[in-house]
């Protein structure tokens, strides 16, 4: 969908949207409408009890066409504009070709106008690749949004916002694809397009990882005919010390020999949501030419239960040299992450690592689908990520770490087990990963199991993939690594 900014309403057929802050709607507030039309729309809005609540819409017809009033609430945040844009896109996605949004009456800044456009583009995203029987009335029709009367700087603000929207869309695409289409090798190929933006890509195959001693990651993959891959994406937008983002990329998770129940197993195509978020974030950073040095690492495997699959009770040796007793083959994500984290520390000498993973069902039990869980060995890094999450909308909640939890994963025959007892499962999973973080390295773990997929539509996503994780990483970089 195209977005452009203009000084006046374009010629030709279009729907007109007028954003309004909360309060009584009177004709004087309806920029872009003639006196009679404004009076009619004001009366109709009052009759429909529209009061400008954030994201609320009054859908009317006046004069020559369709008029939509969209609420901004108090209008005092980018989020309000973003929500308004998303609400508009959801309303006209399959009915209009051109939507004109007149913000002159509220004197929106360029940044706020760009936020509205961002929300609209995000919410308008759909993936209809495999839907061959859609009726004409069900197909997306919205091609362009024209924002009229935006303040100075709208185009520059939109350039940055568009890069972020492109990154989120890429993550949604990766998360949405079925596992017969997206697997370790094809995930890598999808990410090749980042090279055109200046991202340096390196790929390690299963033989190279075996030579490096990545027995934990490869143990997960050994039951699948799809070979594992370690995908490395490097964006050097500044001559600075690198920061690493590491993503769990289990492109399908049956649970292995510790097989999951059949009901709902189809959802496990999105168990690569952490790797998807890293890939989307790297696209966003490169797209807006972020002045930062970031290395994105995705451990890509498929967890299947064939005759060669890893068994409960097996002991594997990680790249770090630490040994792991595999109690449950469905606790596989941490086995992937530990070798990826060891590799990026030893290869690039990074001193700050943020990993993202759809790691534990226990996190969904704890937080539902409202927050991701955050664990960290450094308070300053944790605070940066919490603030980035709040500002971006990818909200996180911090959980504890400690020796008492760490003891729960000690093994009688190896250095550690890959699971602890039933309770505190998200914490013991984080403690497992922490054992692979070297001295002096700041590390945070984001357990986003409840956030990458939604059973209902939200402000900036439809039912399905949410793109969660991209925005927090982009905001973390913008607020703390650039400048």
3-state SS class at 143: coil
| Structural contact between residues 408 and 421, judged by C-beta atoms closer than 8 angstroms | yes
| Structural contact between residues 446 and 357, judged by C-beta atoms closer than 8 angstroms | yes
Active site (annotated) includes residue 192: no
For 163, list phi and psi in degrees, rounded to 5.
Answer: -60, -40
- Measured CA angle at 450 (ends 421, 358), to 5 deg: 65
Task: Find how far residue 405's CA is from the centre of its chain.
Answer: 29
Give the H or E element holding residue 354. Answer: strand 352-357
3-state SS class at 433: helix
Helix then strand then coil, % of the chain, to nearest 5:
40, 20, 40
Distance between CA 324 and CA 219 in Å, rounded?
11
| Structural contact between residues 390 and 397, judged by C-beta atoms closer than 8 angstroms | no
Read off the tokens for 135.
């009726």
3-state SS class at 118: helix
Q: Choose, from 190, 260, 351, 387, the residue flagged as catalytic.
A: 260
Q: Token match 């100075």: residue?
A: 152
Q: Choose, from 123, 226, 269, 334, the residue flagged as catalytic.
A: 334
Q: What is the signed CA dihedral for 366, 55, 281, 206, rounded to 10 degrees?
A: 50
3-state SS class at 53: coil
For 331, list phi and psi in degrees, rounded to 5.
Answer: -100, 60
The Cα-based distances of 201 to 20, 204, 346 in angstroms read 46, 10, 18
- Cα of first residue to Cα of last residue in the chain, in angstroms, is 31
Count of CB atoms situated within 10 Å of the CB of 1: 16
Distance between CA 332 and CA 271 in Å, rounded?
11
Active site (annotated) includes residue 207: no
Distance between CA 8 and CA 264 in Å, rounded?
50
Distance between CA 100 and CA 40 in Å, rounded?
20
- Catalytic residue ranges: 260, 334
């Amino acid at each position: 969908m195209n977005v452009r900014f203009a000084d006046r309403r374009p010629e030709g057929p279009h729907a007109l949207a007028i954003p309004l802050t909360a309060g009584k709607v009177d004709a004087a507030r309806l920029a872009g409408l003639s006196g009679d039309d404004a009076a009619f729309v004001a009366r109709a809005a009052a009759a429909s009890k529209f009061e400008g609540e954030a994201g609320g819409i009054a859908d009317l017809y006046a004069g020559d066409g369709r008029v939509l009033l969209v609420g901004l609430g108090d209008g005092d945040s980018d989020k309000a504009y973003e929500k308004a844009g998303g609400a508009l896109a959801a309303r006209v996605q399959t009915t209009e070709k051109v939507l004109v949004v007149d913000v002159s009456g509220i004197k929106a800044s360029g940044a706020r106008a760009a936020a509205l456009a961002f929300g609209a583009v995000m919410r308008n995203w759909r993936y209809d690749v495999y839907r061959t029987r859609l009726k004409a009335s069900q197909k997306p029709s919205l091609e362009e949004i024209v924002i009229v009367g935006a303040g100075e700087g709208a185009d520059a603000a939109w350039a940055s916002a568009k890069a972020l929207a492109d990154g989120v869309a890429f993550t949604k695409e990766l998360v949405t694809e079925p596992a017969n289409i997206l697997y370790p090798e094809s995930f890598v190929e999808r990410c090749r397009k980042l090279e055109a933006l200046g991202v340096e890509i390196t790929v390690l195959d299963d033989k190279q990882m075996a030579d490096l001693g990545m027995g934990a990651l490869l143990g997960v993959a050994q039951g699948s005919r799809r070979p594992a891959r370690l995908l490395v994406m490097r964006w050097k937008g500044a001559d600075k010390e690198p920061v690493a983002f590491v993503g769990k990329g289990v492109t399908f998770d049956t649970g292995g020999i510790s097989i999951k129940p059949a009901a709902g197993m189809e959802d496990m195509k999105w168990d690569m949501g952490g790797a998807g978020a890293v890939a989307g974030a790297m696209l966003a950073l490169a797209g807006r030419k972020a002045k930062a040095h970031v290395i994105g690492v995705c451990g890509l495997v498929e967890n299947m239960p064939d005759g060669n699959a890893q068994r409960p009770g097996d002991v594997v040796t990680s790249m770090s040299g630490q040994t792991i007793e595999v109690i449950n083959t469905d606790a596989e994500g941490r086995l992937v992450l530990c070798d990826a984290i060891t590799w990026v520390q030893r290869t690039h000498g990074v001193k700050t690592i943020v990993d993202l993973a759809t790691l534990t069902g226990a996190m969904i039990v704890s937080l539902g689908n409202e927050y991701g869980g955050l664990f960290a060995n450094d308070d300053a890094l944790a605070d940066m990520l919490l603030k980035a999450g709040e500002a971006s909308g990818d909200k996180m909640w911090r959980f504890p770490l400690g020796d008492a939890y760490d003891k729960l994963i000690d093994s009688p025959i190896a250095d550690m087990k890959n699971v602890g007892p039933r309770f505190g499962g998200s914490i013991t999973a984080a403690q497992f990963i922490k054992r692979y973080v070297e001295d002096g390295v700041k590390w945070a773990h984001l357990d986003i199991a409840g956030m990458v997929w939604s059973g209902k539509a939200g402000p900036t996503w439809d039912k399905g993939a949410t793109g969660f994780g991209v925005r927090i990483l982009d905001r973390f970089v913008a607020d703390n690594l650039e400048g």
